[in-house]
Structure 1
């Protein structure tokens, strides 16, 4: 009996030795314990067997209860809920119930900053697992309010929370609002616990400014990242260097961009960061193409294709295919150039269609969320019922708006021509029209110069000059691509409508329609296309035949009404 009593005393009366190593965490605030808590989490994560991990966590909780430390007990609970949700393929309904229960316990017991961490975890669940972006943003807004009354010294994870909210807005390309949160994170005191997050905020804020074409501001924050000295700084310095190279590329200062992008490329390959390696390769390929170093450009095109495949990031093809189109055009391979122009349009459309679908999904989620709130309100008083009916009408309007938006994006996709208009969608159409007119005028001036030369020469010289001109191409493939891009800005969707309405037309016949839309004469068309006026007449006859029109039917009316 004495031995049994001694055993029971030793087993139940003494703390578990495995948990006793966390004695230094007892009855301390989160700010005092942050490094110890994360060491405890790391210890649990590094326990490979899930059963042993759960058993170990249970011992720590038992140890915390034995010492009446509710804060430590709930911190262990937080780990288990988070780990099982995001790393153990736990059923989603169970994860949501436990995450919600964790948040309710943190709110009810008012334990310092466990509520903020629980809100962040719930937002991550809605974002990463449920793909319900509107509910995720709702949690982030609550988290933002929670942080507004907190002191950085008391809550070391404030920078991380602000960064995560900012990244959510960055994902939806709200660069102004995202930058607001990155700036808040940057001004917080930098410690060994926050320095990586703060450097991430500086780099991503630079990317916001780069997207807004404020390159000097972008470069300022990239250089701020280069000043960092923490042990893991090398990766961020390499990324910031590549981003500085991208800014120089956008400025067309290629000699300055090359060493920066090459440094990023080599570092990314060494770190198996295939996405960054692909991004640097695309820019280097385009730079070397501009510099007429075609073999070197081809090397980086091949590298870009390889690393895009390794990174499994097909969205980057929308940036690579335009470079390949220009490379083949510069090498005289018109057919391959045309193929990659088509591929560019498809890749760009696919990317924007996917992003547009995400925005429409978020709008629909906002409507669904409002509908749920209306259903709850319907159980209230009569006045609340009337309010609910009014809001229900609002909900229907929002659904119509969402449907209209989706229809708009689908129609817009059909109207896109074979150019890179989507990469410069914010440019003013009037400026594009002006550039187009100038381009056309320069071609007409060339034609006038040819006529003047012919008039000043002997008939024999005129024939010789005319023959040589007819064998040359005044408008190169590169000129045609630039002309087509300008034309599409002035007459959006015209080329696409021609292709859809008259698929039987060849590429040359489509070009005739484009020039005809500018009301050019036969002689002017011939000069621009590098053919004889008779060839234009033959082309016009062939078009009438394909479209089953009479010889007297005016093609100009078809062009204007397309």
Structure 2
């Protein structure tokens, strides 16, 4: 089963048609009414919501063709280009024709200032490039849109999110999974701002799919369940099916075929109820694979033939034909297996898919090996080896070597066989294949009279057979616990729904608390309250996502540093203003005999007041919670002024900045520092920064 095809099935979010819509647009009714004059018909067509029509594709094509004619007649250039874009997107023109049409739409749109159509035509061209395998060209095109036309995209946030999602898909092709998730999260952030639940659902499932490809099954399952819950809430059957498909992939890859079968059957039910043809094909394929692995080929063949009959695309049908053949091999119907393998080969050849041809040759080789047609088996393995380029597909390379080794062993070519088998051994992962290879090597060594080597190979064969038996027993145990697995899966889904509801209630509660804080306190206190609130919320959710806790803590520290820096700046600015007032007052009262006592007290006022210091300590302790207490412990008898100086140096301030903060001369700070050194017998080779650095924060 090609898991990569299944993962990418649901991430291509189209711009337009919904196959399960139930609304017949009144505007379309007006358009098809011949008694309405052409101008009103065209106006009706321009008001159609194409995402909510239940017309067949043939009817849509007719509407678009007639609409293009009317729009050209009335010189509605925007409508002409828009309908041409829809017609090209959903029509059956060849790839080059589509690229040419999109290029014409792009040029016309740029000339006439049709910004949305300009962007859409470039995006659709990139999708065509992707369809024909020109992934780098497609990626360059999307990146060009995101970088060179960002102002246009900011006007159309939905299209902006789709482009990020497309870039995620393309990075998936190149295996840059970190970049993939970065792009999907950009799309998710935009859709969250738009409150677009459908877009968010798609993004969550795509992130889950990316984690699956990276073999991070815990995160993959987490995001898939979140997508499933959201799809349930908004009633999106398509996304529910996609979520179940991804969960089926996770269970299948981990050989939990009972759980895989349960969710695949749910996905299949949704696909059939809503006429999702692609979903029916994929779910039938997965269900068949589950039944095969659960030793029920009779049920497997029915679902596999259903997928075969529904599929029309040659490339995909090639893979399904091979799976049909595998079902018939399990049923020991080798003639039908050979028939469907030949069909797969014809399909692979018709689309010039080299890797698929190699894959079919390998399947033929093992079929003939199983039926003891050794000459034909060796011939097909050699054909595969000749066609496959070095390093192109490591799995197929290992299968070719294994097949040649087993075939030549049966033909009595012991030395040749061992050369193949030794080469393939480091590449094998499955216990059954490793055991089979060691058994063949034991036979080969025995025929070469190398009895010690033969005994060693047989011993390893027995070890792997025992491991395989234990693995089979484990699989049997999983089958026995199938009912428990189903209940567990349903329980997890129920818990996920409840967690979502609780999370939404928490978000609403926190929002009300934030508003209350802003009304009662100033901006500074409100900011601190929000930080503490966020900190409490992240602590509660820590068990669900430990990584978010670290991020939240860093946000708190950074924000507190900012508050601390702002307070320092405010105090310095305050000092400067008071200095200016002092100078002005001294000038004003210079002719008075002594000035008033109140004036003199004002002139001697120090700016870092107790109130300032208390506010400063609150912010400082958030950033360095233990510094003040540890300073008092390290330096017994530390004065308040000395503690202030230590704190300011801890913030990295210079002597001049400390003086400004304390509203004294730099020389006063220097004298205070010298007295501090003498008081505690400190070495003058250590500067104040080194001293405060050694104090635990």
What TM-score does the superposition give when structure 2 sets the normalisation length?
A: 0.43
Structure 1 residue aligned with 2:265, among 138, 141, 145? 141
Structure 2 residue aligned with 1:28, among 44, 51, 65? 51
- 173 and 239 in structure 1: CA distance in 2 versus 1, 3 angstrom threshold: farther
Number of equivalences: 342
Cα deviation, residue 163, structure 1:
1.7
Alignment pair present for 1:359 and 2:486: no
Q: For residues 347-496 of structure 1, what are the structure 2 equivalents within 5 Å?
A: 347-364=464-481, 366-367=483-484, 369=486
- 222 and 29 in structure 1: CA distance in 2 versus 1, 3 angstrom threshold: farther
Is the contact made by 1:261 and 1:280 (CA closer than 8 Å) also made in structure 2? Answer: yes
Q: For residues 94-133 of structure 1, what are the structure 2 equivalents within 5 Å?
A: 96=221, 98-128=223-253, 132-133=256-257
Match of 1:78 in 2: 205
Match of 2:357 in 1: 237
Match of 2:343 in 1: 224
**Higher Rg of the two aligned structures:** 2
Distance in 1 (CA, whole Å) between partners of 2:440 and 2:222 is 49
Distance in 2 (CA, whole Å) between partners of 1:250 and 1:95 is 38
Distance in 2 (CA, whole Å) between partners of 1:371 and 1:50 is 31
Distance in 1 (CA, whole Å) between partners of 2:52 and 2:417 is 53
Alignment pair present for 1:200 and 2:327: no
- 327 and 241 in structure 1: CA distance in 2 versus 1, 3 angstrom threshold: same
Structure 2 residue aligned with 1:211, among 330, 341, 347? 330
Cα deviation, residue 251, structure 1:
2.8
- 237 and 118 in structure 1: CA distance in 2 versus 1, 3 angstrom threshold: same
Distance in 1 (CA, whole Å) between partners of 2:221 and 2:362 is 40
- 339 and 258 in structure 1: CA distance in 2 versus 1, 3 angstrom threshold: same
1:478-507 Cα deviation digits (max 9, x unpaired): xxxxxxxxxxxxxxxxxxxxxxxxxxxxxx
Distance in 1 (CA, whole Å) between partners of 2:398 and 2:185 is 44
- 273 and 172 in structure 1: CA distance in 2 versus 1, 3 angstrom threshold: farther
Match of 1:251 in 2: 371
Cα deviation, residue 126, structure 1:
4.1
Alignment pair present for 1:336 and 2:461: no
Distance in 1 (CA, whole Å) between partners of 2:359 and 2:340 is 12
Distance in 1 (CA, whole Å) between partners of 2:310 and 2:382 is 33
- 210 and 136 in structure 1: CA distance in 2 versus 1, 3 angstrom threshold: closer
Distance in 2 (CA, whole Å) between partners of 1:270 and 1:79 is 32
- 233 and 356 in structure 1: CA distance in 2 versus 1, 3 angstrom threshold: farther
Distance in 2 (CA, whole Å) between partners of 1:371 and 1:59 is 32
Distance in 2 (CA, whole Å) between partners of 1:372 and 1:309 is 37
**Counterpart of 1:270 in 2: which secondary structure?**
coil
Cα deviation, residue 366, structure 1:
3.0
Structure 2 residue aligned with 1:180, among 286, 302, 322? 302
Distance in 2 (CA, whole Å) between partners of 1:263 and 1:158 is 34
**Counterpart of 2:462 in 1: which secondary structure?**
helix
Alignment pair present for 1:324 and 2:446: no
Match of 1:309 in 2: 426
Cα deviation, residue 114, structure 1:
1.8
Higher relative contact order (CA 8 A, sep 6+): 1
Cα deviation, residue 112, structure 1:
4.8
- 106 and 222 in structure 1: CA distance in 2 versus 1, 3 angstrom threshold: same
Distance in 2 (CA, whole Å) between partners of 1:84 and 1:332 is 51
Unmatched tracts of structure 1, length 5 or more: 1-20, 375-562
- 271 and 167 in structure 1: CA distance in 2 versus 1, 3 angstrom threshold: farther
- 123 and 217 in structure 1: CA distance in 2 versus 1, 3 angstrom threshold: same
Cα deviation, residue 299, structure 1:
3.1
Match of 1:166 in 2: 288
Distance in 2 (CA, whole Å) between partners of 1:275 and 1:354 is 22
**Counterpart of 1:113 in 2: which secondary structure?**
helix
- 372 and 183 in structure 1: CA distance in 2 versus 1, 3 angstrom threshold: closer
Unmatched tracts of structure 2, length 5 or more: 1-12, 18-48, 58-85, 91-123, 132-161, 492-697
- 23 and 241 in structure 1: CA distance in 2 versus 1, 3 angstrom threshold: closer
- 273 and 325 in structure 1: CA distance in 2 versus 1, 3 angstrom threshold: same
Distance in 2 (CA, whole Å) between partners of 1:23 and 1:371 is 37
Cα deviation, residue 81, structure 1:
4.4
Cα deviation, residue 318, structure 1:
1.6
> Please, what is the CA RMSD of the aligned residues?
4.1
Distance in 2 (CA, whole Å) between partners of 1:285 and 1:28 is 56
Match of 1:466 in 2: none
Is the contact made by 2:207 and 2:220 (CA closer than 8 Å) also made in structure 1? Answer: no
1:246-275 Cα deviation digits (max 9, x unpaired): 222233222222211211234456354344
- 311 and 327 in structure 1: CA distance in 2 versus 1, 3 angstrom threshold: closer
Cα deviation, residue 144, structure 1:
2.3
Match of 2:382 in 1: 262
Distance in 2 (CA, whole Å) between partners of 1:167 and 1:372 is 20
- 132 and 231 in structure 1: CA distance in 2 versus 1, 3 angstrom threshold: same
